[in-house]
Amino acid sequence: MDVRDLRKIYTRDSIKLTVLDGLSLQVTEGEFVALMGPSGSGKTTLLNLIAGIDRPTSGEVFVGDVPVHTLSEGQMAAWRGRNLGIIFQFFQLLPSLSIVENVMLPMDFCNMYAPRERRDRAMQLLALVDMAEQANKLPSAVSGGQQQRVAIARALANDPPILVADEPTGNLNSQTAESVFRMFERLVEQGKTILMVTHDQDLAKRVTRTVIIADGEVIDEYLARALPALSEAQLIWATHNIETRGYAPGQEILHEGEPADNFYIITRGQVEVMLRQPSGSEIVVATMGVGQYFGEIELLHGSANIATIRAGANTGVEVIALDPNEFNHLVTESPTTQAEIDRVAHQRVEENTAARQEEEEVVAHA
C-alpha cells in the first residue's frame, strides 16, 4: 500500500478545510499498522481515501499495483469488494437484513463462493466473533458491541487480503476488545494486512508499527514519544528535518572528546555507551534501546562528547538525527522539552561519573 503526497480539501460555503496536507505513507504486505492522532487529524479521511469511499483532491493511492484514485465508481466497487474488508466506526449494517444476511451481502455482491456455501461461511464467521446464536436477528435487536462484531465478520466475508478498521474496538468492552484484537493478530500471522485507527495506547503497543497523524500529516512516532512536550506544529517541523541513519554492529557513532554533531533517537537496535579509563581501556557504562536518545548533553552545554557511542555489537542500530541548529531550534521553542532533556542529561552525567569512579576504585585495589 503506497499513499503519495495525498491532499484532501473540503469546501463548504466558500470556506476551504484542508484535512490531509501532502501525506505520504507506505504499508508493507503483512503489516499491522495503527493510525493514531488527535480527533480531526485526518485518520478516518485517510482510511476512506485508501478504501475508495472518498476521492483525494490531489495525490495518489496505490494498493498493490492498483491505482485506486483512478478507478471509476463501478471498478472501485468491484475491486473493493474482493480486496478490502472495511470495519466502520458506526457499523453500517443494513437494518432490514438479518445479521447473517448482512455477513452474506459482500459474497452476494461480488459473486464470491457458491450460493449454497455463503450461508455456511457467514455462520462460521459469526461463530468466530461469538455471534452465531444471534444470526437471525435484525441488527437493532442486539447491542452496539454485538453489531461491531457482526461488522468485523462482514469485513472478512470475501477473505480480503487487507482490512481497514476505524476504531474497531471502540464500542466493545475490554474482554471482547481483547478477543477481537487477538483475532486481528491471528489474521496478520496468516498474511493479512491491517490498517487500524485507534486511540487505545495499549493496543497500539502490540501492532507492527504505529503511524501518528497530526494536522493532516504523518509525524515521526519516535520523535513524538521521545519528546512528548512538543506541539503538533513542532513535531511536524521536526519530522520534515530528521535524517534516518543506520550503523553496523560495533560501528562508532560518537567518539569521546570530539565535537558534538547531532541529537539522536534510537528507532531500532541498541547502542553501547563507552567511557575511556586513565589506562586507555574502555568500559561499557550503559546500553540504550529503542526510544532513547543521546547526544543531547553536548548540544545543550556546548561541550565535546563525554562518551563514545557504538552500535550494539549484536544488533547494530538505526537512528533518526537532528543537526545542532535543528535541535537548538526545537528546545528554544519548547522550554518544557528543554527542561526535560536537561533533567535526563544531568542524570546521565551523574551515572557516567559514578561508573568511572567505580571502575577507577576497582583498578586501584587490583
**Residues of the domain holding 92:** 2-219
- The answer to whether residue 11 is domain-embedded is yes
Rounded CA-CA distance 193/25 in Å is 14
Residues 125 and 73 in one domain: yes
Q: Check residues 71 and 204 and name the one with the higher pLDDT.
A: 71
Give the model's pLDDT for residue 77: 87
- The answer to whether residue 184 is domain-embedded is yes
Confidence of residue 158 (pLDDT cuts 50, 70, 90): very high
Burial readout 158-190 (b: 16 or more C-beta within 10 A, e: otherwise): bebebbbbbbbbbbbeeebbeebbeebeebbee
Residues 62 and 164 in one domain: yes
Angle at 3 between CA 291 and CA 70, to 5 degrees: 170
CB atoms within 10 A of CB 15: 7
Name the domain boundary from 219, 251, 275.
219
Residues 105 and 135 in one domain: yes
Confidence of residue 224 (pLDDT cuts 50, 70, 90): confident
Task: Give 106-140 pLDDT, tens digit per residue.
Answer: 999 888 899 999 999 999 999 988 899 999 999 99
Residues 85 and 163 in one domain: yes
- Helix 99-110 × helix 115-128 angle, to 10°: 130
Residues 262 and 203 in one domain: no
Rounded CA-CA distance 352/348 in Å is 6
Contact 184, 196 (CB under 8 A): yes
Q: The whole model's pTM is what?
A: 0.76
- The answer to whether residue 226 is domain-embedded is no
Q: What is the mean pLDDT of residues 80-101?
A: 89
- The answer to whether residue 354 is domain-embedded is yes
Residues 305 and 186 in one domain: no
Q: Does residue 104 surpass a pLDDT of 90?
A: yes
Rounded CA-CA distance 183/172 in Å is 14
Residues 45 and 180 in one domain: yes
The set of cell numbers assigned to 211 is 503511524
Name the domain boundary from 219, 244, 277.
219
Rounded CA-CA distance 104/18 in Å is 37
- The answer to whether residue 229 is domain-embedded is no
Task: Give 298-343 pLDDT, tens digit per residue.
Answer: 888 888 888 899 999 888 999 999 999 999 888 888 888 888 888 8
Q: Does residue 365 surpass a pLDDT of 60?
A: no
Name the domain boundary from 155, 187, 219.
219
User: Cα 88 vs. chain centroid, distance in angstroms?
Assistant: 19
Tell me which residue has cell 486481528: 184
Residues 190 and 241 in one domain: no
CB atoms within 10 A of CB 146: 21
Residues 135 and 281 in one domain: no
- The answer to whether residue 168 is domain-embedded is yes
Provide the number of structural domains found in the chain: 2
- The answer to whether residue 230 is domain-embedded is no
Residues 187 and 272 in one domain: no
List the beta bridge partners of residue 20: 8
Q: Does residue 157 surpass a pLDDT of 80?
A: yes
Residues 93 and 213 in one domain: yes
DSSP classification of residue 187: H
CATH at residue 20: 3.40.50.300
- The answer to whether residue 228 is domain-embedded is no
Confidence of residue 359 (pLDDT cuts 50, 70, 90): low
Q: Does residue 274 surpass a pLDDT of 80?
A: yes
Rounded CA-CA distance 5/153 in Å is 33
Confidence of residue 357 (pLDDT cuts 50, 70, 90): low
List the beta bridge partners of residue 268: 318
Q: What is the mean pLDDT of residues 55-74?
A: 90
Rg of the chain over Cα atoms, rounded to whole angstroms, equals: 26
Task: Give 168-205 pLDDT, tens digit per residue.
Answer: 887 777 887 888 888 889 889 989 999 999 888 888 88
CATH at residue 312: 2.60.120.10
